[in-house]
Structure 1
Amino acid sequence: MKKNFLPIAINISGEKILIVGGDQSAWKKLQILQRYGAEVEVLAKKVCSGIKQSGVTFFEEAYHSKFLKGYLMLYSCTNNETLDRQIESDCRAAGVLVNIHDNPALCQFVSPAIYRNGNISVAVSSNGEDVYESIRLRNEIREFFN
């Protein structure tokens, strides 16, 4: 079934969010989430230096569903489809919203390309189908406001 994502704004300030994966895509996602005041934690066998130096709690361990308790949402940045499918299934069972990096078919939500200036945020979403076009349009909006 084709996904049809509803663009919404959600308050994540103070909410616990787990990122599974510790590479550069996880580091970029962490930086975005920190701008919105989320309490982000990272779980991965190996965590990049940017994450280690960010001040967030990280666990250098393999993924297990026992880690899901207490999180509002999870971003999987593992680039491992078998593991991502397990994470998606576990999150749904645990009531944790799940986003699988670069795999909208497994996502409950997708993150739009965001331009933020003060209290104004503009989000561009392609329903998870054309991320680069969303980014291009977001950049045009940024240029318009600057």
Structure 2
Amino acid sequence: MAYLPVGLNLKNRRVVIIGGGSVALQKARTLCAYEASVELFAREVCGEIRQLPLIWHEQREYHPDLLQGAHIVYAATNDRSKNQQIGHDAQQRRILVNVVDDPSHCDFVSPALYREGEMSVGVTSNATNPRASIALRNRIRDFLAGGRND
């Protein structure tokens, strides 16, 4: 698959995350940095998510009605079949979805991001090698940090 890198304006747009663990936490942090209106639903929510000031979360089982009105959805549970179901439910509602553990069910993938001020750099491997994307993002970050003339 080949994913088109784009910049999305998510300010005040409803983004739903289903899942409450470390992957959901990572997605929530990134989305908050871009001013999305994040709503997170999971049976169990890790303490770090509860401490994020910019998201609303609720401990509850997944139900397709939770997707209503979402701009995009992240299926980030630790249950692969549930993630696929969330992906299917979102696609049936014509909502863009990222199934974090299965790129073949994604409408989009999240790049490895580096942001400084108004500038953002995203690196993607089209979901084939996230570690390589992160490594290249870090090299770009280090290069830019070394080239500053403060």
Decide: shared fold, TM above 0.5. yes
Q: Give me the whole-angstrom Cα distance separating, in 1, the residues matched to 2:119 and 2:52.
A: 26
Note the residue ranges of structure 1 that are not aligned, 5 or more in a row.
none
- Say if 1:79 and 1:101, in contact at 8 Å, map to a contact too: no
Identity %: 38
**1:80 counterpart residue number:** 79
Structure 1 letter corresponding to 2:80: E
Give the counterpart of 1:9 among 7, 25, 41: 7
Which residue in 1 is equivalent to 2:98? 99
Query: Alignment partner of 2:73: what SS?
Result: strand
Structure 1 residue runs of 4 or more that deviate by more than 3 Å after TM superposition: none
Equivalent pairs counted in the alignment come to: 144
Contact 2:80 2:101 in 1 (8 A): no
Q: What is the distance in 1 between the residues matched to 2:87 and 2:102?
A: 11
Structure 2 residue aligned with 1:119: 118
| Structure 2 partner of 1:141 | 140
Task: Kindly provide the amino acid, as one letter, of the partner of residue 125 in structure 1.
Answer: T
CA–CA distance in structure 2, aligned partners of residues 133 and 111 of structure 1 = 14
| Paired letter, 2:22 | Q
Q: CA deviation at 1:24?
A: 1.3
Structure 2 gaps, min length 5: 146-150
TM-score using structure 1 length: 0.95
Please report the TM-score for the alignment, with normalisation by the length of structure 2: 0.93
Q: CA RMSD in A?
A: 0.9
Q: Of 11, 19, 22, which aligns to 2:20? A: 22
